């Protein structure tokens, strides 16, 4: 095999109460990468489609490029020549895990191309390097679920300890991306470094409740636990009509609604597809009322993670 095309899914990080420790993958959108071997050693980005020229073309400064380079160094294969074509199929700065999906697609693709020398879980630290250059923090709550599929808990960063947990088969996610941009680095910068004991206790209760609710499964418990008293109140100001869109989701039957990753996308969880569609339409209407266009996506939790696409 001298060429491979891989899709990696978008992700919802934080999932309300789990800042930097929870994330899940969705079926769409997602990014695609095509890797082709070359006689000339080194990793090159030959084209990026769908970014309007905004992403770095230098491999070491691109999330997919750096993930692949770090991987090749670790397996002593810097002799390999690779040309990358990246197909960005989701908006940048959207809170949908765009930088993570590219990094995951890249590292998964090269590992497949080489006959899978490493098991999938071992690819995670390389994909995290993509996040480090994208926003200055090597968090795993987007790359983890994009790589492993499903709902992922990052129990610890040092040492890295990542757990994939069961979710109800009929849980549906609505994602609404209002047509504005939030830079993850900025959205992290505005957070407070200190948290009160009261809020820590509330948040820990919700973290535990959400995991128990997903695994039982218990929809009422999921609903009561989809609450973030630490991050959402600070970041909500970055999203016009956040409160109205969230209320619209809850009024239309969502179990809960919060910011997807660092925003501006918002996610809601519902117990069936019909409710999830209705929730999406209501959230879009809330944005439209103040003249903000948006895209909505409805999908189940993606259990597969990246996949090889055959042309
Ligand atoms: N956990 C990260 C954050 C996800 O909220 O900043 C964004 O990539």
| Non-local CB neighbours of 242 within 8 Å, separated by 6+ positions | 236, 259, 266
The Cα–Cα gap between 249 and 146 comes to 25
Q: Tell me: do 243 and 269 sit in the same domain.
A: yes
Q: Tell me: do 160 and 193 sit in the same domain.
A: no
Q: Tell me: do 111 and 24 sit in the same domain.
A: yes
CA of residue 128 to ligand 1 center, whole Å: 12
Q: Tell me: do 37 and 152 sit in the same domain.
A: yes
Closest Cα to residue 277, out of 252, 259, 302? 252
Flag whether pLDDT at 65 surpasses 90.
yes
Q: Tell me: do 121 and 216 sit in the same domain.
A: no
Closest Cα to residue 111, out of 99, 127, 92? 127
| Non-local CB neighbours of 46 within 8 Å, separated by 6+ positions | 83, 84, 85
294 belongs to an annotated ligand binding site = no
Residue with tokens 């080489």: 114
Residue 206: strand, helix, or coil: helix
Residue with tokens 């994939």: 164
At residue 229, the pLDDT reads: 98
To the nearest whole percent, how much of the chain has pLDDT over 90? 92
Residue in 131, 167, 174, 275 annotated catalytic:
131
151-180 residue pLDDT tens: 999 999 999 999 999 999 999 999 999 999
**Per-residue confidence band for 92, with pLDDT thresholds at 50, 70 and 90:** confident
CA of residue 262 to ligand 1 center, whole Å: 5
100 belongs to an annotated ligand binding site = yes
38 belongs to an annotated ligand binding site = no
97 belongs to an annotated ligand binding site = yes
At residue 5, the pLDDT reads: 98
Q: Tell me: do 160 and 197 sit in the same domain.
A: no
DSSP H or E stretch at residue 256: strand 256-259
The Cα–Cα gap between 155 and 21 comes to 7
Cβ < 6 A, ligand 1 pocket: 13-14, 19-20, 139, 141-142, 184, 187-188, 261-262
**Per-residue confidence band for 184, with pLDDT thresholds at 50, 70 and 90:** confident
The Cα–Cα gap between 81 and 187 comes to 37
Q: Tell me: do 43 and 105 sit in the same domain.
A: yes
At residue 136, the pLDDT reads: 83
Mean pLDDT of the chain: 96
At residue 135, the pLDDT reads: 81
pTM of the model: 0.96
At residue 181, the pLDDT reads: 87
For ligand 1, mutation pick of 128, 132, 135 (most atoms within 8 Å of CB): 135
**Strand ranges of the sheet holding 256-259, from the earlier edge strand across to the other edge:** 256-259, 266-270, 172-178, 294-300
* 85 exposure class (CB count in 10 Å sphere: 0-12, 13-18, 19+): middle
206-238 residue pLDDT tens: 999 999 999 999 999 999 999 999 999 999 999
Closest Cα to residue 143, out of 298, 306, 307? 306
Q: Tell me: do 75 and 197 sit in the same domain.
A: no
At residue 231, the pLDDT reads: 98
* Residue 46 falls in the annotated catalytic set: no
Contact 170, 217 (CB under 8 A): no
At residue 163, the pLDDT reads: 97
Q: Other CB atoms closer than 10 Å to residue 205's CB: what's the count?
A: 14
At residue 254, the pLDDT reads: 98
Contact 70, 133 (CB under 8 A): no
The Cα–Cα gap between 149 and 26 comes to 8
Tell me how many domains the chain contains.
2
CA of residue 189 to ligand 1 center, whole Å: 11
Q: Tell me: do 43 and 96 sit in the same domain.
A: yes
Dihedral sign of CA atoms 55, 58, 60, 61 in order? negative
Q: Tell me: do 189 and 284 sit in the same domain.
A: yes
Flag whether pLDDT at 1 surpasses 80.
no
Q: Tell me: do 124 and 208 sit in the same domain.
A: no
Q: Tell me: do 148 and 8 sit in the same domain.
A: yes
- Domain of 223, CATH number, reads 3.30.70.890
**Per-residue confidence band for 3, with pLDDT thresholds at 50, 70 and 90:** very high
At residue 134, the pLDDT reads: 86
For atom 8 of ligand 1, which residue has the closest CA?
261
Residue 26 forms beta bridges with which residues? 301
At residue 165, the pLDDT reads: 95
* Pairing mode of beta strands 81-87, 42-49: parallel
- Domain of 20, CATH number, reads 3.30.230.10
At residue 66, the pLDDT reads: 96
Name the residue range of residue 243's domain. 172-300
The Cα–Cα gap between 246 and 22 comes to 20
Flag whether pLDDT at 311 surpasses 80.
no
Residue in 11, 70, 174, 184 annotated catalytic:
184
């Amino acid at each position: 095999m001298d060429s491979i095309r891989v899709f990696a899914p978008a992700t919802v990080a934080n999932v309300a109460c789990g800042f930097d420790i929870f994330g899940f993958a969705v079926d769409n959108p997602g990014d695609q990468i095509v890797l082709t071997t070359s006689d000339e050693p080194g990793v090159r980005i030959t084209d990026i489609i769908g970014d309007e020229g905004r992403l770095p073309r230098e491999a070491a400064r691109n999330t997919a490029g750096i993930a692949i380079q770090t991987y090749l160094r670790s397996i002593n294969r810097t002799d390999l020549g690779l040309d990358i074509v990246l197909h960005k199929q989701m908006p940048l700065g959207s809170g949908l895990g765009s930088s993570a999906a590219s990094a995951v697609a890249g590292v998964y693709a090269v590992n497949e191309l080489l006959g899978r020398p490493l098991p999938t879980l071992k690819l995670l630290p390389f994909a995290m390097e993509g996040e480090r250059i994208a926003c200055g923090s090597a968090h795993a709550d987007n790359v983890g679920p994009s790589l492993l599929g499903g709902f992922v808990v990052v129990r610890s960063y040092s040492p890295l300890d990542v757990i994939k947990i069961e979710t109800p088969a009929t849980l549906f996610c609505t994602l609404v991306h209002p047509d504005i941009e939030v830079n993850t680095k900025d959205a992290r910068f505005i957070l407070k470094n200190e948290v009160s004991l009261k809020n820590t206790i509330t948040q820990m209760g919700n973290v535990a409740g959400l995991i128990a609710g997903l695994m039982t499964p218990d929809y009422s418990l999921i609903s009561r636990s989809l609450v973030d008293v630490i991050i959402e109140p600070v970041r909500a100001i970055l999203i016009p009509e956040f409160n109205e869109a969230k209320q619209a989701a809850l009024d239309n039957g969502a179990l809960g609604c919060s910011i997807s990753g660092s925003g501006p996308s918002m996610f809601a969880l519902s117990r069936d597809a019909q409710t999830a569609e209705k929730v999406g339409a209501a959230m879009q209407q809330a944005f439209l009322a103040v003249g903000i266009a948006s895209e909505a996506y409805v999908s189940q939790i993606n259990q597969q993670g990246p996949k090889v696409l055959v042309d």
